[in-house]
């Protein structure tokens, strides 16, 4: 899938009692650029969490659940009428699925969504947006590209930053970088933004035993470090050139990925970082390591996570306990 194929956008509404204006604004910006439809979705959290318990519900509990979904639908309908969505094709849908991240994934699969939009709402001590457990599960399991909204900066006229790894560390699929650049290229064309490419690498070291026994790392001579850097830079430039990204928009930094990427995104005032989700071999699950978790948490801009080609979510497609009716909105 490429960004040019965005036709259906699913906006995950965490709390229908408050309009998620940032997520709606970003979804609307993309929908207008791609002439896409938007569905506002909320899964009502019910106390009964198994089919066995569902069969034993009393009439009062059933009525309470139906009332909760009807209230959710009315609130989503009001969101669809907000000025930010005016002129767009907007639908809304509530059901009783659980847990929240699986509910979103199932709905995205059933509606063939091309993009899921969600907001990072857990707050750190300094007030910045951090990712909660549902966000991490969405990152790991959402089969289509996932946009995590963290800032108010619009995409139009801004910088979109693609984080690539042309050396395919951590068993990363060889074509994922090209997929990221193609997706980012489609976005910047439609959103009238500019695409930059980033890669961070570690210095070249040699491991050798010492007389005392432990193995230690030794820095190699400057000539070897320079040759190592040149090789990496050329590889990144070749990858960027394949997506028509000029050399001046390529950023190759020696240092830890988290610190270098966050610093660059801040200096460029990037509105979005496009990253790849890497799957561990033999598992239908995205592996998020300590470095990736730190990057995703520390970035102050939005993050778009794109999966490798052929990724299949491990989330099952079991039936909902209750299901509200989808309603076509006239915004």
Mean pLDDT estimate for the chain = 83
Ranking 50-54, 102-106, 211-215, 307-311 by mean pLDDT, the lowest is: 50-54
- pLDDT tens track for 47-71: 554 455 555 555 666 777 788 899 9
- pLDDT tens track for 115-161: 999 998 655 554 555 566 778 888 888 989 999 999 999 999 999 99
Q: Based on the domain organization, do 256 and 325 belong to the same domain?
A: no
- The SS3 of residue 216 is strand
Q: What is the pLDDT at residue 277?
A: 78
| DSSP string for residues in 218-276 | EEPPHHHHHHHHHHHHHHHHHHHHTTT--GGGEEEEES-HHHHHHHHHHHHTEEEEEEE
Q: Based on the domain organization, do 114 and 3 belong to the same domain?
A: yes
Q: Does the pLDDT of residue 205 top 70, yes or no?
A: no
Q: Based on the domain organization, do 159 and 222 belong to the same domain?
A: yes
Q: Based on the domain organization, do 225 and 329 belong to the same domain?
A: no
- The answer to the question of residue 130 being in a domain is no
CATH number at residue 75: 3.40.50.620
Q: What is the mean pLDDT of residues 23-34?
A: 98
Q: How confident is the model at residue 262 (pLDDT cuts 50, 70, 90)?
A: very high
The range of the structural domain enclosing residue 19 comes to 1-124+314-331
d(CA 137, CA 103): 11
Q: Based on the domain organization, do 113 and 231 belong to the same domain?
A: no
- The answer to the question of residue 131 being in a domain is no
Q: How confident is the model at residue 214 (pLDDT cuts 50, 70, 90)?
A: low
d(CA 239, CA 276): 15
Q: What is the mean pLDDT of residues 239-257?
A: 95
- pTM value? 0.85
Cβ contacts of residue 105 below 8 Å, gap of 6+? Answer: 138, 141, 142, 143, 313, 315
Q: Based on the domain organization, do 151 and 252 belong to the same domain?
A: yes
- The answer to the question of residue 77 being in a domain is yes
- Cα dist from 167 to 83, 174, 196, whole Å: 46, 8, 18
Q: Does the pLDDT of residue 167 top 50, yes or no?
A: yes
94 touches 72 (CB < 8 A): yes
């Amino acid at each position: 899938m490429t960004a040019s194929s965005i036709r259906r956008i699913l906006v995950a509404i965490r709390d229908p009692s408050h309009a998620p204006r940032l997520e709606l604004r970003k979804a609307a910006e993309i929908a207008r650029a791609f002439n896409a439809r938007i569905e506002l979705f909320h899964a009502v959290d019910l106390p009964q969490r198994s089919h066995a318990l569902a069969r034993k519900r009393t009439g009062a509990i059933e009525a309470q659940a139906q009332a909760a979904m009807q209230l959710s639908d009315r609130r989503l309908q009001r969101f669809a009428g907000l000025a930010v969505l005016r002129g767009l094709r907007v639908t809304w849908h509530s059901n009783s699925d659980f847990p929240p991240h699986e509910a979103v994934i199932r709905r995205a699969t059933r509606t063939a969504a091309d993009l899921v939009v969600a907001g990072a709402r857990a707050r750190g001590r300094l007030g910045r947006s951090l990712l909660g457990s549902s966000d991490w599960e969405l990152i790991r399991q959402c089969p289509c590209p996932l946009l995590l909204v963290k800032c108010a900066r619009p995409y139009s006229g801004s910088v979109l930053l693609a984080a690539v790894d042309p050396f395919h560390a951590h068993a990363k699929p060889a074509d994922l970088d090209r997929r990221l650049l193609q997706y980012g290229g489609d976005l910047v064309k439609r959103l009238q933004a500019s695409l930059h490419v980033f890669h961070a690498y570690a210095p070249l070291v040699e491991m050798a035993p010492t007389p005392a026994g432990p193995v230690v790392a030794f820095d190699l001579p400057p000539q070897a470090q320079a040759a190592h850097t040149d090789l990496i830079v050329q590889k990144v430039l070749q990858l960027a050139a394949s997506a028509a990204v000029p050399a001046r928009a390529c950023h190759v930094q020696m240092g830890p990925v988290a610190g270098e990427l966050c610093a660059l995104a801040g200096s460029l005032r990037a509105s979005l970082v496009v990253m790849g989700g890497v799957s561990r071999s033999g598992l239908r699950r995205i592996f998020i390591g300590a470095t990736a978790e730190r990057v995703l948490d520390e970035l102050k801009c939005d993050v778009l996570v794109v999966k490798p080609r052929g990724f299949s979510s491990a989330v099952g497609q079991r039936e909902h306990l209750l299901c509200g009716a989808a309603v076509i909105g006239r915004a």
